[in-house]
Structure 1
Amino acid sequence: MVDSWCNEIRDGAKLGAVRSLLRAFRSACHYGDDGGDDPTAKFSTMSSSVFNKIMLFVLNEMDGILRGLLNLPPSGGKREMVIDLMTTRRWKNYNHLVKSYLGNSLHVLNQMTDNEMIAFMLRRLKYSSVFLAAFPALLRKYIKVALHFWGTGSGALPVVSFLFLRDSCIRLGSDCLDDCIKGMYKAYVLNCQFVNSTKLQHLQFLGNCFTELLRLDIPSAYQHAFGYIRQLAMILKEALSCSTKKKKTKSKGKEEPSSSKKEKGKEAPSSSAKKETFRKVYQWKYINCLELWTGVVCAYSSEAELAPLAYPLTQIITGVARLVPSACYFPLRLRCVRMLSRISAATGTFVPVSLLLLDMLEIKELRKPPTGGAGKAVDLFSILKVSKSTLKTRAFQEACVFSVVEELTEHLAQWSYSIAFMELSFIPSVRLRNFCKSTKVERFRREMRRLIRQIEANTDFINKKRTKISFLPNDPAAASFLEDEKKSGASPLSQYAVTLRQRAQERNDALMESSVLVGDHSSKFGNEITSDDEYDNSENEESNGLLLPGKDSKLTHQKDVKKKKKKNIEPLEETALDEDIIEDFILSSDEDDNPVSGTVEEEDSEPEAAAPAQRNKKRKQPMEMSKDKAKLRNSKSKKMKKKAQGKL
């Protein structure tokens, strides 16, 4: 029976066969619904082959059949075409067929769970999306379903859903576009509340789709972008007002006497409210929204409508970076710096990014020796906040300084061809020299001196070119200064930035490949004393070409500790401290020729450097005691002598 309908439609598109096939299509779409099976219905039961044949034929051919009945072009069309068609007699005769096809298809889309089948249906329904102009209620439901699949689907389904939405917006105009922009932004916000490594690519895809959709109507996109960016500004304004009030209350508290208990009880909820306002800003949802609008502004920086949004967005990002000037939120500040650098590069306007970076070098955590040990390797670009214990580790200090150097180099390299490079690089150079004088860590000094040398070389490079020009700084010809050199990347800072990018990429690849703990061996000595075999194995491992200092004394000291008291806690703590120091010696000498001069302990504080020597003196006493005992054993028995030699 189905084959006969299909053959009749192929031969002449008879109306009776079309209606019968659409009734069968409705039964197939509602097949298996709870309470939907009517035993008196004509198509209450059907085999899987019949179901498959009905669905495939209708989805592949019904768009062309309906266009033939309504006397429309075989493909394409806009909203105006359907609006004009709604006044004709043909539409009054056949509009129920169009509505049946679109309504039943929507029903089965809501029931399906297989992503490939849903993608196939959306791919076919995309050609009939122009008919949704006549059914606003169906249009809203289709947009809602497609947005759900776009935000939560997997495989090819998000791409197909986005193409359906984009094609619908092109054909149906501003009414559909406004709903799609609002729905896509809401879906993006719901997806970016919690971020991990697997979600980053999906978020980037969602952001790219949203940016592409705004291209369809730039003036309408400006209205939406202005409203959403204003929302972000209002949230930041509330947080800034709380921070200013907090500073005022602190200043008043120093001058005025303490308030009564009743006044303290009233202040408690305000402090919790302040924390909530700060959390609204310092969370993944807010930061990812800033990332989204940064991508939009950078993509359409040449458009006259969206270009003015760069300034308020820059002000918001700068305010977010300075909201809580704590070392715990340095990863968040680095994200803001990257967003500002992108906006500056896209719009060609100077943004004082260097001030945000140089302020990071003045924190007290970088001026003190690391008291938290070596610590884990830190990736500052995949998190927003660092724990307080991590702040005291050497790994955080190194990651912080290296990240500042890399981002500052990128910023200065971006303006390394500017005619005003000598002026804009003066303050960063002065503050970098001050950091070199204040820090006691030689590794950080070397890193800063390299950057300062590159800045000076780039200044000489620009000054030589400046002596050969005759135009004034406000002349339009200044915009084309060193265009050829910029295309070839000939400035010293541009070449240095390339090497730093390679180093950063290697560091990120190492973090992705393994999650090795820095100083992992040192964390084990506090639990139990290792055996001689473990020391022998550790000697064979790579230690950056260095030998562990004082191994023999350490072994004899541990053996004497075992002989004295197994449950004594003090010797265990001493050995644990010693082992931590040894691990620090190894890891801090990656770039130094002299293993001792490169240690953080000797560079940062002299009293701590003297501590290992004092502990080595304490070790000598148990060594002499063990020699006396060995002599006594040799006089008593030769067997005892062999055992003693074997243990030593």
Structure 2
Amino acid sequence: MGKVTKATRKFNKNHLKGELERRNKLKKTKQQIKKREVQKKKKKHTAESDDEEDDAFTGIDEVDELAEFTDTTPKGMPKDLDLSKFMEADPENDEEVESDEDINAILNGDSDSEEDDEDDNEDDVSGDDSEEEEDAEMEEAEDSDDEEAVFKKQLESMLEKDTAFAKYMKKNDPGSLKILEDNADEDEDAGDDDDEEASDAEMSEEAEEESATALVTLKMLHGWENAVTNQHSLKSLKRLLLAFYSASHMDAEDEDSDDVPFRIEGMRVFNKVVSTSLRVAPKAFARYAPVVNGKVTKKAGSKWTTIQALVKSYLASLLELMKQMSDAAMIQYLIKESEKALPYFVCFARFTRDLLKELLRQFGSSTADDGVRILALMTLRKLVSMAPSEITDMALKGIYLTHVRHSNVKNITSLTTIQLMRNCGVELYGVDANASYQHSFVYIRQLAIHLRNSMQLRNKESFRAIYNWQFINSLHFWTEVLATYCGDRADEQPQLCETLESLVYPLTQIIMGVARLVPTAKYFPLRLHCVRMLLRISSSTGIYIPVLPMLIEVLESSEFLGRRPIKSTLKPLTLDSYLKAPKEYEHTRVYLESILENVFELLADAIAAQSTRIAFPEWIVPASLQLRRWRKRVGKSWVRFSKQLQGLLERTEQTAKMVQQQRSKVDFSPADLTAANRFMEDVHPDTTPIGSYAVSLRKVRAQQRATLLEAEADE
């Protein structure tokens, strides 16, 4: 932390209060002006609603019930809670934000905008230094313990005995390594003192080690390892950890060679220092403070005070080394070692937060492979299970924001990576039921607010705030969370299912509102994404969601019933990695064929999901009539798809007859809803005629996607 300048102190004393009042007043004025503009536009659009085009969305009433949802507070949290403050903390970044504008920017896909950076810099002029001082004081208070007086005495004694070491410590960062100056020999018993003397006598390199920048050799490492392993020498352990510190700071940008206690030359020596430290140090720590049931023993007889400083040094060096590594195999190795040291990380709040941030950084790194992401998630999950609730909150916020920040789809390969990150994030949300519900509520509520604002403003900018990959993948994320814990794994965690179930309805309303926000042919891919999300929720939870009308609206658009498609020689379009049609594909036959293939697949899935319901024969009648009418009108223009639709309708009829046959055998009345809900519960939807047809279409789609992945990998 830099020194506060005289100009800053003068500004804080004379002008800070007035500046803050001026900014708050200006902010309130802007909010009032914006509110008046929104009201004017709303009145104008209401007056001109009769003259609007068919493509403009006018169904605000469809999600009007979200108004109450956006003003509520999740269960278990105080009603006067400022939800914007709850959402603003981002564990991956050190800086605090003052509003929810940063999260809005992430969802809008412009988190790196220059305007936001300028605003942040302007706000930080007056308060940056004081905030940093407060953070430093809080961290020191958290890491301090009852033995602080003992450490001070040991520090003074060490500085008096070893002048060379004292000179080195004055150059170093006192926040990380001055704790190594403890006089550990004071706490050792007589047997340990004898071992220490024997170890010192055997080390022939003692004269060389007196130098503050002694060269580490393989012989020195071997001697230190033997002394620590066989003789339990704390002095050798301390020197080994100093060498580990030097190795972890070799590539630091602001480090000079004179600032580290040892000099390491050659990759062989570097690897030996790292491997020896990671192998020997945890075993040495366990001798003094063993881990029992995942917790470090800190009783009086455990000698925790003796090795606490050394543990801090080891954890700090391990984190620093993890930040500098770029090789995937080395990163995985370090994450595994950090997982073994989790009980020691949990003993220090600061190091726990630092490890959490580093795991999130590795999880969201664009250069990380799938193995690193999965291992980081597993370590993060284990850390959350051991750490206090504060770390759980940070982890849940961090995993979601990391997913959103890195969820911009560019091709099929990136889509696969995003799906893996989403699955990992969903897995983490199964750790704590109450915390998961609170975070899910808050962020789903934030999506609802975005949608309502877009419906009220109804301009290109507001639509763009919704129709981007960050927003859509946020919906995908919460869809998977609810579908997993309220459906697929509801029996495993009934408490989590019960708490999250109330969020199914508002999320469904949000997805339906997004799908119909701009119902033009260009955005058919986005609508199909939304339909897949709704089907995922419906099929896993058993809750009926009317998705067939949304698909039939696509078939009955002017693209199929009005104009003729444009012939084109463009290659077939894979809609998975698109939210809207590329400009050169608009109105082309290639694009519309891709739309029809996906629509028919989703139609089969939607019908199959209801194929074991007792009311299926009556439920399918309206949709069958509309599909037959569409086939009759456009059958000559789309011969291949007309035949495919005919096959779908035939299997639908077969399924309806099967349900009628089963229904004729029942012995309960229609008023018995419990028995009606259990109708054909032993029959899986995929085994019905329409279900088998849907499975075959899914297999074809999976093969096409695998082919595309192979093609991109070859390129």
TM-score by length of 1: 0.69
Q: 1:470/1:39 Cα in 2 relative to 1: closer, same or farther (>3 Å)?
A: closer
Pair 1:478-2:697 in alignment: no
- Name 1:620's counterpart in structure 2: none
Q: Within 1, Cα distance between the matches of 2:456 and 2:260?
A: 68
Rg larger in structure: 1
Aligned residues of 2:566 and 2:589 also touching (Cα < 8 A): yes
1:562-588 CA distance string (max 9 Å, x none): xxxxxxxxxxxxxxxxxxxxxxxxxxx
1:586-622 CA distance string (max 9 Å, x none): xxxxxxxxxxxxxxxxxxxxxxxxxxxxxxxxxxxxx
Q: Within 2, Cα distance between the matches of 1:380 and 1:511?
A: 12
RMSD value over aligned CA atoms? 2.7
SS at match of 1:323: coil
Q: Which has the higher contact order (CA 8 A, sep 6+)?
A: 2
- The counterpart of 1:295, out of the listed 468, 477, 480, is 480
1:316-365 CA distance string (max 9 Å, x none): 11111111111111111111111111100100111101010011111111
- Name 1:455's counterpart in structure 2: 652
Q: Within 1, Cα distance between the matches of 2:407 and 2:466?
A: 14
SS at match of 2:341: helix
- Name 2:170's counterpart in structure 1: none
SS at match of 1:372: coil
- The counterpart of 1:306, out of the listed 490, 497, 500, is 500
- Name 2:288's counterpart in structure 1: 69
The Cα of 1:405 is off from its aligned counterpart by: 2.1
Q: 1:9/1:138 Cα in 2 relative to 1: closer, same or farther (>3 Å)?
A: same
The Cα of 1:114 is off from its aligned counterpart by: 2.6
The Cα of 1:76 is off from its aligned counterpart by: 5.1
Aligned residues of 2:248 and 2:320 also touching (Cα < 8 A): yes
1:96-137 CA distance string (max 9 Å, x none): 111111112222222333332222122112111222233222
- Name 2:551's counterpart in structure 1: 357
Aligned residues of 2:551 and 2:599 also touching (Cα < 8 A): yes
- Name 1:519's counterpart in structure 2: none
- The counterpart of 2:690, out of the listed 493, 518, 522, is 493
Structure 2 residue runs without a partner (length 5+)? 1-219, 491-496
Matching of residues 598-609 of structure 1 within 5 Å: none
Aligned residues of 1:375 and 1:394 also touching (Cα < 8 A): no
- Name 1:345's counterpart in structure 2: 539
- Name 2:241's counterpart in structure 1: 22
- The counterpart of 2:581, out of the listed 386, 397, 404, is 386
Aligned residues of 2:243 and 2:262 also touching (Cα < 8 A): yes
- Name 1:610's counterpart in structure 2: none
Q: Which moved more, 1:378-387 or 1:143-152?
A: 378-387
Q: Within 1, Cα distance between the matches of 2:273 and 2:327?
A: 18
Aligned residues of 1:195 and 1:284 also touching (Cα < 8 A): no
Pair 1:423-2:618 in alignment: yes
Matching of residues 72-221 of structure 1 within 5 Å: 72-73=290-291, 77-78=294-295, 81=296, 85=298, 90-152=303-365, 153-155=367-369, 156-221=371-436
Q: Within 2, Cα distance between the matches of 1:428 and 1:217?
A: 42
The Cα of 1:442 is off from its aligned counterpart by: 5.7
SS at match of 2:575: coil
Structure 1 residue runs without a partner (length 5+)? 244-273, 516-648
Aligned residues of 1:365 and 1:391 also touching (Cα < 8 A): no
Q: Which moved more, 1:434-443 or 1:302-311?
A: 434-443
The Cα of 1:500 is off from its aligned counterpart by: 3.4
The Cα of 1:207 is off from its aligned counterpart by: 0.8
Q: Within 1, Cα distance between the matches of 2:327 and 2:582?
A: 43
- The counterpart of 1:285, out of the listed 466, 470, 476, is 470
- Name 1:406's counterpart in structure 2: 601
The Cα of 1:308 is off from its aligned counterpart by: 2.1
- Name 2:278's counterpart in structure 1: 59
Aligned residues of 2:608 and 2:686 also touching (Cα < 8 A): no
Q: Within 2, Cα distance between the matches of 1:38 and 1:510?
A: 52
Q: 1:351/1:474 Cα in 2 relative to 1: closer, same or farther (>3 Å)?
A: farther
The Cα of 1:413 is off from its aligned counterpart by: 1.2
Q: Within 2, Cα distance between the matches of 1:38 and 1:404?
A: 64
SS at match of 2:659: helix
Q: 1:387/1:87 Cα in 2 relative to 1: closer, same or farther (>3 Å)?
A: same
- The counterpart of 2:561, out of the listed 351, 362, 367, is 367
Aligned residues of 2:364 and 2:403 also touching (Cα < 8 A): yes
The Cα of 1:38 is off from its aligned counterpart by: 5.3
- Name 2:453's counterpart in structure 1: 238
- Name 1:9's counterpart in structure 2: 228
Q: 1:164/1:462 Cα in 2 relative to 1: closer, same or farther (>3 Å)?
A: closer
Q: 1:441 is aligned with what amino acid? A: S
Pair 1:441-2:637 in alignment: yes
Aligned residues of 2:608 and 2:685 also touching (Cα < 8 A): no
The Cα of 1:7 is off from its aligned counterpart by: 1.1
Q: Within 2, Cα distance between the matches of 1:399 and 1:46?
A: 60
Aligned residues of 1:416 and 1:493 also touching (Cα < 8 A): yes
Q: Within 1, Cα distance between the matches of 2:559 and 2:259?
A: 80
Aligned residues of 2:225 and 2:280 also touching (Cα < 8 A): no
Q: 1:437/1:38 Cα in 2 relative to 1: closer, same or farther (>3 Å)?
A: closer
Q: 1:202/1:506 Cα in 2 relative to 1: closer, same or farther (>3 Å)?
A: closer
The Cα of 1:289 is off from its aligned counterpart by: 0.9
1:610-638 CA distance string (max 9 Å, x none): xxxxxxxxxxxxxxxxxxxxxxxxxxxxx
Aligned residues of 2:319 and 2:355 also touching (Cα < 8 A): yes
Q: 1:438/1:177 Cα in 2 relative to 1: closer, same or farther (>3 Å)?
A: same
TM-score by length of 2: 0.63
Aligned residues of 1:419 and 1:466 also touching (Cα < 8 A): yes
The count of aligned residue pairs is: 478
SS at match of 1:431: helix
Q: 1:500/1:105 Cα in 2 relative to 1: closer, same or farther (>3 Å)?
A: closer
Q: 1:149/1:86 Cα in 2 relative to 1: closer, same or farther (>3 Å)?
A: farther
- Name 1:331's counterpart in structure 2: 525
The Cα of 1:93 is off from its aligned counterpart by: 3.1
The Cα of 1:40 is off from its aligned counterpart by: 9.7
Q: 1:300/1:109 Cα in 2 relative to 1: closer, same or farther (>3 Å)?
A: same
Aligned residues of 1:334 and 1:381 also touching (Cα < 8 A): no
Q: 2:541 is aligned with what amino acid? A: T
- Name 1:624's counterpart in structure 2: none
Q: Within 1, Cα distance between the matches of 2:234 and 2:696?
A: 71
Matching of residues 484-563 of structure 1 within 5 Å: 484-486=682-684, 489=687, 491-505=688-702
Identical counterparts, % of pairs:
34
Q: Which moved more, 1:88-97 or 1:9-18?
A: 88-97
Q: Within 2, Cα distance between the matches of 1:232 and 1:286?
A: 8
Q: 1:77 is aligned with what amino acid? A: G
Q: Within 2, Cα distance between the matches of 1:200 and 1:471?
A: 48
Q: Within 1, Cα distance between the matches of 2:413 and 2:307?
A: 48
Q: 1:170/1:456 Cα in 2 relative to 1: closer, same or farther (>3 Å)?
A: same
1:3-41 CA distance string (max 9 Å, x none): 222112111312222222222222332335456445597
SS at match of 2:612: coil
